C-alpha cells in the first residue's frame, strides 16, 4: 500500500574495448604506489646494505671502529667472521664482523 513497485533497470551495453581500459586505469594507483615505494624505501636500503658490506670487507688490523652496542676500540685481530676489538690496553672482546657500524678516524680512540 505505502510501498510502490520498483522495477530493475537494465544496464547499458558496454563497448568491447572500454572494459580493458578501465581495468588498467584501476590498476594504475597500485602500480604508482609500488614505484614510489621502490624509490623511497627499497632502493636506499639496498644501497646502505651494499655500503656496509664493502666497509666490513675493508676492515684491517689497527682500524678504530664503533660497534652496534656502542663500544669503541681498535681492531687487534681479524678472522673470517669474527674480530678482536681492543677496548683499552689488556682488555679485548670478540665480536662478529657485522657488529661494526662505523670506522672512525685514526686517533679517535685513546
Residue extents of the structural domains in the chain: 22-58, 60-110
The predicted pLDDT at position 14 comes to 55
pTM: 0.68
Question: For residue 97, how many C-alpha atoms fall within 13 Å in the half-sphere facing its CB?
Answer: 17
Contact assessment for residue 91 and residue 76, using Cβ atoms and an 8 Å cutoff: no
- Fold (CATH) for 60-110: SH3 type barrels. (2.30.30)
| CA–CA distance, 83 with 77 (Å, rounded to integer) | 6
Q: Which of 45, 29, 86 is nearest to 62 (CA)?
A: 86
pLDDT in tens, 33-76: 999 999 999 999 999 999 999 999 999 999 999 999 999 999 99
Per-residue pLDDT for 6 more than 80? no
Residues written for the chain? 110
pLDDT in tens, 73-108: 999 999 999 999 999 999 999 999 999 999 999 998
Amino acid at each position: 500500500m505505502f510501498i510502490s513497485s520498483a522495477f530493475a533497470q537494465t544496464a547499458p551495453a558496454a563497448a568491447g574495448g572500454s572494459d580493458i581500459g578501465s581495468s588498467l586505469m584501476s590498476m594504475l594507483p597500485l602500480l604508482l604506489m609500488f614505484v614510489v615505494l621502490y624509490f623511497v624505501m627499497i632502493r636506499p636500503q639496498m644501497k646502505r646494505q651494499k655500503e656496509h658490506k664493502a666497509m666490513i670487507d675493508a676492515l684491517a688490523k689497527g682500524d678504530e671502529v664503533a660497534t652496534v652496542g656502542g663500544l669503541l676500540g681498535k681492531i687487534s685481530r681479524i678472522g673470517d667472521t669474527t674480530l678482536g676489538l681492543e677496548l683499552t690496553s689488556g682488555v679485548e672482546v670478540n665480536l662478529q664482523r657485522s657488529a661494526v657500524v662505523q670506522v672512525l678516524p685514526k686517533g679517535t680512540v685513546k
